Structure 1
C-alpha cells in the first residue's frame, strides 16, 4: 500500500511539474517579441459584415414594405446591375422569401432557386415576399387567410397585401418599367389567385401554378370529404413557429403503421399537440363543406370578382397535391364568360414540377425537358408580351395540354368544361369485364376492413418519401390481387380510344355499413412485354383516380348516413385527362374503399365527425358493386375519337 501511495504521489508531482512548466509566464525576452497587432480584446466577428460585390451582376435588397394597416412585410428584391426600364416578377410566399435567393454567387442565375433561373438573365427584376406572420414579415399568420368578409372582419387580406406591395414597388423601384407579373406554385399560386380578386392596375400578367383553390373539394386538405391526413405534418411545420416548424415525430419508419396505430386522424393530431393550433380547431370543427369552406372557394370568388389580367392557369396532369385547383378555376371563369384572358395549361408533371426539370414523370420518359422547354418557349415569351410589349411568337391557345402517349403538346381553341362534355359510358361487366356495350346483369362484392386498409403505395411508406411525388403513376399491380380491390378490364384494344376531358365515376353500390369510401381508378394496362423497356411490360398506369366519401352522395354540406344494404348512386368527377389508350393495351377500372395512409380511414359506421371516430366505430363492411338491373355502374369517358 505504501509503495502504491508513493507511486501515486510521484505521478501527481510529475503532473504538477508539467502543468507549472506549461503555464510559466513568458520571459522578458519573449515579451519583447509581442507587438500591438497581436493583442485582440474585441470580438473577431465584426459588428456588420459586408460582402464585396464588385463582380456581382445584380444588386439584392431586403426591404420592409408597409401595408395599409401599418404591418410591414419582408421583401427581397433582386435587380440586374445597371437595370433600366425592366418589368418586375413578384412571388408572395409562406416558405421563406430569403431562401429563394440564397445562393452566394456573383451571378444572378446561380443565386436564385430553380424556379427562377430562367428569369434571372438580366431582363427582369425578381421580387419575393414573406406573407403576413411568416419568417421576417410582421403581422399574424392565418392559414390561407380568407378574403375580407364574414370569415375575415379586418380590412386586410392577401388581395390587399398584394395590391399594396405592387403599389410600393412601382413607386419605389426606379429601375422598373412599372409593369408587374405574379407567379407562384401551390400556396404561392393561391396568393396569385387572391391578387386577381382586385388586381392593382400595374399587374399585367399572372400565372398561378398548381394553386390551392378549394381545399375541401379536391386540393390539399380533402378530396370529396376524405381527409388527406398526411398533410397533418404540414400543419405542424407551417404553424408551430413563424419560420419552418417540425413535422410530427414518428414512432415507426412506416407511416402505414403510424396512422393505423393512432386510430383516427383527430386522435393522432391531438396526441401530437394540435389543440395548440387555432387553425386545427377551426379545421376540425368543419368536416363537411359548410360556409367555412364555401366562402373560401376561390373558383367561386374569381367568378364573382373577375379580372381582366391575362392569366395562365398551370397544373400537372399527375399533380399529387393540388390536382383540382387550376382546372376548376379556369373552367368556372370560362363558363362565366371570362375565357378571353384566361388560359389553361396542363403538363405531364407532378406538383410544382414546372419549376424543376421535366425529363420524366416516374417511369414515363419524355423526349426532352418538358418544363424547361415550356418555360423558355411559352411562359417567358407570354409574360414578356404583357410586361415589356414584345410580340408573341405564337398566340397562347385557350388550352394547351400535353399528350403523354404521343409525347407532344396539343392546343385547343375550345376545350370544354366538364359540365359541357359529351360522355360515353364504359360499363362494368360480368366476369370482371369492361366494355361500351350495355351490361347483362350481375354484381361483385368485397369486404372492406378498416384494420387492413389498401395502401396507396407499396409498403413501407416512410414520412420522407421520394415516391410521394410520383405516386399517381405507381404501377397498380401491387394491389390488383387483394380481395378488397375489384379490377375490371376490357379486351385488348384494336383501336385507339382518345379521351379529352374529365372522366366521371358513376357507381351503384350497396354496403352493410352506414358509411364508406369509394376509390375509382382509370388505368392503362400495357402489353405484357416491351422489348424496348422491359420494366413497362404489363404496367398498370393510373390515368385518372380519386376518392369519394359516401356520406356526401346527396350533399357535400349536409352529410347523411348510408342506408345499409340499399343501392345508392355515387357519382363524382375524376381528374382531367388528355390521353390515348393505344391498340394492344387494355383499359382497366379498379374500385376499392381505402387509400391509406394518404386518406384517413372511414369507420364504415355513421359518426358525426370521422376525425374523432372511436376504435369501436371501425368495422368491416361488405361492399357490393352493381352492374345490372339494380344499377349499371360505369366510368363515363370524354371520348374524343376512336381510330
Structure 2
C-alpha cells in the first residue's frame, strides 16, 4: 500500500499533466518572450511590493518595500539610494528574506522592520533629472525639490499606504546613502524618528570624495563616470595597466579628462571648474547646512577608522551638531575598525589586521538595532545610546565616551636624526627634493585603485616608501608604556620650499616589533593610523589660494582622520612627511599656476622641501592622549 503523501503527490502530478494536455497545443512559432515573471512565489516568507511614489512636482520615484510575512504595527527603515533599489532587495532571488536582502539588513528584517529602498531622482527606476549630491533648495538649486523634500514626500506616502506599519520611520545608509540620510533631517517629516548616516558624503572639497584640503582625488573620475552615464559607464577605459603610469603619462587632471572624453560629463566638468573652496562647494557642505537648523531627529553618525573615501563627513557633522545637543542624548558618533562602509560586512579583519570577533556584527547588535528600536518601535525600550562609541584598535575593545575628542592634545615633536619625541628639540631642519616626474606612490606598483587593493590601502605596510630620499621618516624609541589616543591628531608642520607651491603629506604610523613570533605577518609592520594631505597654496585659507614665497617658512596646519588607538609597549610611533601621494592625488606642479587642473608639462618642476623643527618652528603632530 502506498504511503498517503506519495499517493497525494501522484494525484497532483497526474492532474497537472492532464490540465496541460487538455489545453490547445502551444504553437511552435509562438513568441516566447513574456512581459514579466513574479519571482516572489507564494511559498516565500516575505512580502515584496514595488511602487512608484509621486513627489510634489509629479515626478515618481521607484520604491521597493519588503518585510517578513505576518508583520503588524512595524516600524519602517528607509534607504534612498543611487545604487539600485531592485538590486538591494533581490540579492539571491530566494524565497527566504534573509537571502534576499543585503547582509547588513538581515538583523532588521529579522527583528520586525519593514525595509524600504528608493531610487533617487534620475537613477534606475525613478523619473526626474539626476544631479550628483543635489544641493538643497536655495542659491545652488532653484527648483522646488531636493533630497529633503523628496524624503518628506516619500515618508508621507509610506505612512499612509503601508498598513503594516506603526507610522514611525527611520533612515539608514552608507556613503551616498549616508548623504541622503542626513538630507532627510532638513525640515523633516514628523514621522522621521531616527537616522543612521554611515560614512556620509558631507563636504566633497575639505575631506570627502573629490578633494582633501585642496588636493584633487583622481578616483573621482571613475565614480562620476559610473554614476552619470546610462550606457557605457563604469571605470575610465584605461585598461588594466599601472594606474600610476596612466595618470603620469596624461599630465594634469584636465589632460587626463580630455584623453578619455570625460569633459562631456557635466558632473566632471563642474568639479574641475571649482578647484578652490568657493561658494559652490561651501553651499553644498552638509555640516554647514545642518548647523543652521535645529537638531530634531536623533542621529547615530558612523565612520570607519580607515575609511578610504569619506573619513571627514561623520565627525564633521558631529562637531556641527553636538553643541545643539544640550542633554547629550540626540546625536552620537561611532568609529569602528573598518574601511569605507565596512560596518555592513563581516568585520573580523582588514587587510592583515585581525580583530576580536566580528566587530561589524557586534556594532549592529549592540548599538545600531537598539538605537532604532528605542526610537521607532511601538513598545520601545529605553534609549541609552552612548554619546560616543569607538573601537580601540591595538587593544581590541569597544569603548564609550561622553565627548569627542576624548583626550588631551600633546605635541609629539619632529627632531634631529629622524627622532620623534614628546620633548621639544633644538632648532634644526631636514630637506628633500620633490620631483613631480617621480611622485611618491600610494601603494607598491603596479597600482589598481579597485577591489581589495582600494578598500585596504590605508592599512598597507609603509615600509615600501620608508627610506626613499623624498620621504622624511621620524620615529620614537621603543615604547615602555601604552600611548592611547582618542580623537583626530593635528598636524603642525613648519616647512619651506624653493618652489611657489607644494603639497605636504603626513602619515602617523604604529611600528610593530621586528620580532613577533605570535603573528609573523605583523613583524616590523608599519601600520598607518592616519594619512592626510595639505595643498600649500591654501595656507592662508581654503577660499584664498596664493603662491608660496620661496624660502619662507610657513606653518601648515591640518588634521588627520579620527581614531581610537593604543600604541602598545614594544611598539614605536613613526611620522612620515612627503610631498606627493600618487595617483590618489593629482600632482602639484610646484610652480605657480592659477588652477592646477590646467597645469602644462612645463609647469611641473623639482623643488627642495625643508622641514623645520625645534625653536620657533617646532614641527609636531599633536596627539589626543587619554589618561587611562
TM-score range, shorter chain: over 0.9
Conservation of the 8 A alpha-carbon contact between 2:432 and 2:470: yes
Conservation of the 8 A alpha-carbon contact between 2:335 and 2:563: no
Change (3 A) 1:404 1:506: same
Structure 2: unaligned runs, 5 residues or longer:
1-22
Paired residue for 2:331? 342
Runs (4+) of structure 1 moved beyond 4 Å? 336-339, 389-394
Conservation of the 8 A alpha-carbon contact between 1:238 and 1:244: no
Alignment of 1:403-552 (within 5 A): 403-416=392-405, 422-552=408-538
Q: Cα offset for 1:116?
A: 1.2
Change (3 A) 1:397 1:72: same
Task: Please give the alpha-carbon distance, in whole angstroms, between the structure 1 residues aligned to 2:548 and 2:501.
Answer: 5
Query: Deviation string for 1:167-221 (max 9, x for gaps)?
Result: 0000111111101010000000000010011111001110000000111000111
Which shows bigger deviation, 370-379 or 390-399? 390-399
Paired residue for 2:72? 84
Q: Cα offset for 1:490?
A: 0.8
Conservation of the 8 A alpha-carbon contact between 1:238 and 1:245: yes
Query: Deviation string for 1:430-458 (max 9, x for gaps)?
Result: 11111011111211000001111111111
Paired residue for 2:14? none
Task: Please give the alpha-carbon distance, in whole angstroms, between the structure 1 residues aligned to 2:627 and 2:291.
Answer: 32
Paired residue for 1:268? 256
Q: Cα offset for 1:377?
A: 2.3
Conservation of the 8 A alpha-carbon contact between 1:382 and 1:392: no
Paired residue for 2:275? 287
Is the radius of gyration larger for structure 1 or structure 2?
A: 1
Does structure 1 residue 253 correspond to structure 2 residue 241? yes
Task: Please give the alpha-carbon distance, in whole angstroms, between the structure 2 residues aligned to 1:209 and 1:172.
Answer: 28
Conservation of the 8 A alpha-carbon contact between 1:450 and 1:619: yes
Residue of 332, 342, 346 corresponding to 1:357: 346
Alignment of 1:316-335 (within 5 A): 316-335=304-323
Paired residue for 1:139? 128
Q: Cα offset for 1:463?
A: 4.1
Does structure 1 residue 211 correspond to structure 2 residue 200? yes
Conservation of the 8 A alpha-carbon contact between 2:200 and 2:313: yes
**TM-score of the superposed pair, with normalisation by structure 2:** 0.94
Paired residue for 1:99? 87
Paired residue for 2:104? 115
Change (3 A) 1:124 1:273: same
Task: Please give the alpha-carbon distance, in whole angstroms, between the structure 2 residues aligned to 1:454 and 1:433.
Answer: 22
Query: Deviation string for 1:24-45 (max 9, x for gaps)?
Result: xxxxxxxxxxx97264332123
Paired residue for 2:4? none
Change (3 A) 1:640 1:630: same
Change (3 A) 1:105 1:551: same
Change (3 A) 1:277 1:406: same
Task: Please give the alpha-carbon distance, in whole angstroms, between the structure 2 residues aligned to 1:637 and 1:530.
Answer: 26
Query: Deviation string for 1:601-621 (max 9, x for gaps)?
Result: 101111111112111111111
Q: Cα offset for 1:629?
A: 3.8
Conservation of the 8 A alpha-carbon contact between 2:62 and 2:119: yes
Residue of 227, 232, 237 corresponding to 1:238: 227
Does structure 1 residue 180 correspond to structure 2 residue 166? no
Conservation of the 8 A alpha-carbon contact between 1:251 and 1:258: no
Paired residue for 1:315? 303
Change (3 A) 1:590 1:390: farther
* Secondary structure of the structure 2 residue equivalent to 1:198: coil
Paired residue for 1:640? 626
Task: Please give the alpha-carbon distance, in whole angstroms, between the structure 2 residues aligned to 1:46 and 1:499.
Answer: 62
Which shows bigger deviation, 339-348 or 184-193? 339-348
Task: Please give the alpha-carbon distance, in whole angstroms, between the structure 2 residues aligned to 1:310 and 1:406.
Answer: 30
Task: Please give the alpha-carbon distance, in whole angstroms, between the structure 1 residues aligned to 2:258 and 2:323.
Answer: 42
Does structure 1 residue 601 correspond to structure 2 residue 583? no
* Secondary structure of the structure 1 residue equivalent to 2:78: strand
Aligned residues: 604
Does structure 1 residue 298 correspond to structure 2 residue 286? yes
Q: Cα offset for 1:476?
A: 0.5
Q: Cα offset for 1:392?
A: 4.4
Q: Cα offset for 1:280?
A: 2.2
Change (3 A) 1:583 1:169: same
Alignment of 1:389-400 (within 5 A): 389-392=378-381, 395-400=384-389
Task: Please give the alpha-carbon distance, in whole angstroms, between the structure 1 residues aligned to 2:449 and 2:303.
Answer: 25
* Secondary structure of the structure 2 residue equivalent to 1:182: strand
RMSD: 1.7
Paired residue for 2:549? 563
Paired residue for 1:584? 570
Residue of 188, 191, 199 corresponding to 1:202: 191
Task: Please give the alpha-carbon distance, in whole angstroms, between the structure 2 residues aligned to 1:70 and 1:313.
Answer: 32
Change (3 A) 1:251 1:82: closer
Task: Please give the alpha-carbon distance, in whole angstroms, between the structure 2 residues aligned to 1:182 and 1:36.
Answer: 52
Which shows bigger deviation, 568-577 or 119-128? 119-128
Structure 1: unaligned runs, 5 residues or longer:
1-34
Q: Cα offset for 1:424?
A: 1.2
Task: Please give the alpha-carbon distance, in whole angstroms, between the structure 2 residues aligned to 1:413 and 1:51.
Answer: 49
Does structure 1 residue 277 correspond to structure 2 residue 276? no
* Secondary structure of the structure 2 residue equivalent to 1:268: helix
**TM-score of the superposed pair, with normalisation by structure 1:** 0.91
Task: Please give the alpha-carbon distance, in whole angstroms, between the structure 1 residues aligned to 2:348 and 2:575.
Answer: 28
* Secondary structure of the structure 2 residue equivalent to 1:384: helix
Conservation of the 8 A alpha-carbon contact between 2:488 and 2:624: yes
* Secondary structure of the structure 1 residue equivalent to 2:417: helix
